[in-house]
Amino acid sequence: MSTYKSHGKYSQTAIQSHFGTWKKALLEAGLRSERTPAELKIIPDEEYYRDLRRVAKILNLQTVPYVEYKKLGKYSAEHIFKRFGKWSTVLENAGLKPMGFNKGKISEQECFDEIERMWRLLGRQPTTTDIIKRGIYLYSIDTFKRRFGGWRRAL
């Protein structure tokens, strides 16, 4: 993808929009879409951390949701997950905040602060669609559902 960005005629985003994913575009073009295990092993951990911080900056968040990294990341999110064992581990190693999947880790106040942050960002009450499709969240919608029993109850 980085090579194409430097030399390609069309934007990466246009290609991904047309084919659904970068991988599907490569497969359609008859190109190899996966790195070999040997190629994956030589990528230094710091390269992954740097790319995670780059995606966090694009998202304007202090974390990187897995699904967002799959869309915007330079590397395979699946491989990163396998390499580090947990998504939260690689986020912490990169100096980012882990995602909020453990009820005990995120306080109610932090959830309320996040709702307020999104509300201010949008200029209106955030909806589940805003969180899921617009990618403006620090915590997943499931965090609020598990913590409060639903998005409406969190509000």
- DSSP assignment of the chain, as one string? -HHHHHH-SS-HHHHHHHHSSHHHHHHHTT---S--HHHHHTS-HHHHHHHHHHHHHHHTSSS--HHHHHHH-SS-HHHHHHHHSSHHHHHHHTT-PPP---TTTS-HHHHHHHHHHHHHHHTS---HHHHHHH---SS-HHHHHHHHSSHHHH-
Structurally, the chain folds into a number of domains equal to 3
In whole angstroms, give the CA distance from residue 65 to residue 7: 29
State pTM to two decimals.
Answer: 0.48
Q: Looking at the structure, do residues 71 and 46 belong to the same domain, yes or no?
A: yes
Residues 28 and 40 in one domain: no
Look at residue 103 and tell me if it is in a domain.
no
Structure tokens at 141: 């919608």
In this prediction, residue 87 carries a pLDDT of 85
In a domain, 150, yes or no: yes
Residues 46 and 92 in one domain: yes
Q: Are residues 88 and 44 in the same domain?
A: yes
Asked if residue 57 lies in contact with residue 67, where contact means CB atoms within 8 angstroms, the answer is no
pLDDT of residue 35: 65
| Domain presence at residue 142 | yes
Residues 117, 87, single domain; the answer is: no
Judge whether 72 lies within some domain: yes
Residue 143 sits in the same domain as residue 131? yes
- pLDDT recorded at residue 146: 83
Is 138 inside any structural domain? yes
What is the mean pLDDT for each group of 10 consecutive residues in the chain (155 residues)? Answer: 79 83 81 66 88 92 86 85 85 86 68 89 89 74 86 92
The domain in which residue 13 lies consists of 1-33
Specify the pLDDT at position 33: 62
The percentage of the chain sitting over the pLDDT mark of 90, rounded to a whole number, equals 21
Same domain, 92 and 145: no
pLDDT of residue 103: 42
In a domain, residue 133? The reply is: yes
Instruction: Tell me, yes or no, whether 82 lies in a domain.
Output: yes
Do 29 and 40 lie in a common domain?
no
- Quick one: pLDDT at residue 34? 63
